[in-house]
Structure 1
Amino acid sequence: MFNPSLPLQDLLNAMPDATLVVDSEGQILICNHLLEELFGYPPRYLEGEMVSRLIPQEQRSAHHQHIQQYMQTPQRRMMGAVMTLYGQKSQGDTFPVDIMLSPLVLDDNKLVICTVRDMTDIKQMQDALTEGLKRERQLARIDALTGCANRRAFMELAEYELERCSRYQRPFSLAYLDLDNFKQVNDLHGHLAGDNLLQNIARRLQSCLRSSDTVARIGGDEFVLLLPETPQNVAKFMLDRLHRQLLEEMAKQHCPVTFSIGVLSCTQAPEHIDHLLKMVDELMYSIKQKGKNAIRYCHFPAIL
């Protein structure tokens, strides 16, 4: 068996990182005090132990095979090459680590110098950054006032639905909803009352629709509803009921607001989402011109 000399021990103790030396079978031959401290072991306890003691319990059964594969063609591996490594301390706690491997032949013995670095602080910073970026992406797709999807999020989801319709012939419906007489609320009661009303309507829309549906606010008092897997007959049942519920809610609040809704059901995808929005907007606007507070349904392509 390889017998480390005192100068090698001194060299390892002078290393700035936790370091150990293992043989071709994965047995720990020598390690420095930083490694013992990092993993919570007393001095010289790890010498003669298998290096698998330092990795999580659930990974140990496969670790010996990994060592054999590595030792067939040992190569230097720098830190940063594998970013999903974890160590296990003497008490059983696991923590993220980064490891550098340096093959070494000494007295005809194939050895590997392993340098281990605790990545807990860096991992926490990375997780915080990832979570922050995730929140930023979410905020970039959420209407700040109502909590609904915004125009950007709607466009992305609608493009996806157009692709599904085109590729798999899956039907969907789109409803463009405009609040009639909303200006009266702002003029008579102020913009705060108008904002509260928009929030209330947004909550009502989200609670009345399915979890697979999308409610988006794309203008001041304009909402669009994206209804996947929804042919015209299903859309008519859903939106007639929704219209009644919205009017009942406004009546309870003694609010003059009503709703003009244009609905376009597609069994064939239009060329572009802008074309789709233009058609359903025109449907809604035609209701405005004829007295407001109604729903108009149309099919794409038109059924003659």
Structure 2
Amino acid sequence: MEVRQTFIEFLEVIPDGAIVINRKGLIIAVNQAAASMFRYSSSSMLELHLNQLLPEEVRERHDQHLATFFKHPGRRSMGNGLIFSAIRRDGSTFHVDIMLNQLELEGELYGIAIVRDYTLQKKAEDKIRLELEFEKRQALTDHLTGIMNRRAFTAQLQDEIEQLTEHGTPFAVSFIDLDDFKDVNDEHGHHFGDEVLQKIAQLLRLHSRHTDYVARIGGDEFATIHPMISANDAQQMMQRMRSELVSGIDHAELPVTLSIGLCQCDKPSEHYTIEDIMARADKAMYQAKKEGKNAVVLTN
């Protein structure tokens, strides 16, 4: 009671919520701001254990933190990342920002927590985070087809090169060109041409493995990355994929075929580069065109 009387007037001057606890974690003093924040009356919070203001799943871990806090005197400032998920009397949860300090009175050590409702700031931070994530996705996504763009593709290709160099993990890269696409734009217009590109992108995603990467890297040029695959499996997979794509193209009545150059990368000591791999796949693609189009040519 004496401790409560000592603190009560001081606590009410503080604009933020303020909670004083003893070593056992029991609340011995609280101001109206904190009581309102947690939807209690000031008197009903007294002698509550601090854990009752926290979600059940974190209480045991918090007990350990509390013991450490009293064992090692110090303070933690507001805004230093000490954000807690808290629970109100009605069971609803919200986020709080907490500043901790210790006070010694008549030989007894107490903890005082200055508490701010972090709800609005948390919502603002979440909104900013989602906006940044959206912008990042947009920066790595082809705006027309919704698949990876050239920037995202080259970044992923660099990762695959590093995996091959460090761990010997093979992969294959395809370069896909739409045969006679210029005629499509000339005869049917660019709007129809865009629809063709979108459909091809959908078919590529549909018939790729879930571990593969599909990108549009130019006007009518697509590319794929196929991690952890041998040269023989890569060629068989791409032939099967081309067949499925041709079937889908015929079904959608799209006036194009596909010439595909496939580059197998499986030699860790070869020091592959993005430019070298793309040049090899591009050369193989042009070889496919020379051989009559609508074909797959493998190189390594």
What is the CA-CA distance between 1:253 and the residue it aligns to? 4.7
- Quickly say closer, same or farther: Cα 1:161–1:203, change in 2 above 3 A: same
Q: Does structure 1 conserve the Cα–Cα contact (< 8 Å) formed by 2:102 and 2:109?
A: yes
Q: Does structure 2 conserve the Cα–Cα contact (< 8 Å) formed by 1:150 and 1:218?
A: yes
Q: Does structure 2 conserve the Cα–Cα contact (< 8 Å) formed by 1:25 and 1:64?
A: no
What is the match of residue 247 of structure 2? 248
What is the CA-CA distance between 1:290 and the residue it aligns to? 4.5
Q: Does structure 2 conserve the Cα–Cα contact (< 8 Å) formed by 1:97 and 1:120?
A: yes
The answer to whether 1:181 aligns with 2:180 is: yes
The answer to whether 1:274 aligns with 2:280 is: no
Hey, what's the Cα distance between the residues in 1 that align with 2:168 and 2:59?
49
Hey, what's the Cα distance between the residues in 2 that align with 1:134 and 1:265?
33
Q: Does structure 2 conserve the Cα–Cα contact (< 8 Å) formed by 1:87 and 1:94?
A: yes
What is the CA-CA distance between 1:43 and the residue it aligns to? 3.1
Deviation readout 1:72-111 (Å, 9 max, x if unpaired): 2221211123344121111222211111112112222212
Q: What does residue range 100-111 of structure 1 map to in structure 2 within 5 Å?
A: 100-111=99-110
Q: Which has the higher helix share?
A: 2
Task: Write the letter of the residue equivalent to 2:279.
Answer: K
CA RMSD of aligned residues (A): 1.8
Structure 1 length normalisation: TM-score?
0.92
Q: What does residue range 283-294 of structure 1 map to in structure 2 within 5 Å?
A: 283-294=284-295
Q: Does structure 1 conserve the Cα–Cα contact (< 8 Å) formed by 2:30 and 2:42?
A: no
What is the CA-CA distance between 1:255 and the residue it aligns to? 4.1
Q: What does residue range 73-88 of structure 1 map to in structure 2 within 5 Å?
A: 73-88=72-87
Deviation readout 1:239-298 (Å, 9 max, x if unpaired): 112222333333345544222111111211443111111111111123334443322111
What is the match of residue 230 of structure 1? 229
Q: Any gaps of 5 or more consecutive residues in structure 1?
A: 300-304
Deviation readout 1:111-169 (Å, 9 max, x if unpaired): 22211111011111111111111111111111111111111111111111111112222
Structure 2 length normalisation: TM-score?
0.93
What is the CA-CA distance between 1:58 and the residue it aligns to? 2.1
- Quickly say closer, same or farther: Cα 1:210–1:107, change in 2 above 3 A: same
Hey, what's the Cα distance between the residues in 2 that align with 1:253 and 1:125?
45
Q: What does residue range 1-304 of structure 1 map to in structure 2 within 5 Å?
A: 2-5=2-5, 8-269=7-268, 270-299=271-300
Task: Write the letter of the residue equivalent to 2:170.
Answer: P
- Quickly say closer, same or farther: Cα 1:83–1:131, change in 2 above 3 A: farther
Deviation readout 1:171-221 (Å, 9 max, x if unpaired): 211111101110111001100000000111111111111010111100000
What is the CA-CA distance between 1:63 and the residue it aligns to? 3.1
Hey, what's the Cα distance between the residues in 2 that align with 1:148 and 1:3?
64
- Kindly tell me the number of residue pairs found equivalent between the two proteins: 298
Q: Any gaps of 5 or more consecutive residues in structure 2?
A: none
Q: Does structure 2 conserve the Cα–Cα contact (< 8 Å) formed by 1:177 and 1:222?
A: yes
Hey, what's the Cα distance between the residues in 1 that align with 2:255 and 2:27?
80
Hey, what's the Cα distance between the residues in 2 that align with 1:58 and 1:290?
65
Hey, what's the Cα distance between the residues in 1 that align with 2:168 and 2:42?
69
- Quickly say closer, same or farther: Cα 1:168–1:189, change in 2 above 3 A: same
Task: Write the letter of the residue equivalent to 2:128.
Answer: L
Task: Write the letter of the residue equivalent to 1:59.
Answer: V
Q: Does structure 2 conserve the Cα–Cα contact (< 8 Å) formed by 1:2 and 1:109?
A: no
- Quickly say closer, same or farther: Cα 1:178–1:21, change in 2 above 3 A: same
Q: Does structure 1 conserve the Cα–Cα contact (< 8 Å) formed by 2:82 and 2:98?
A: no
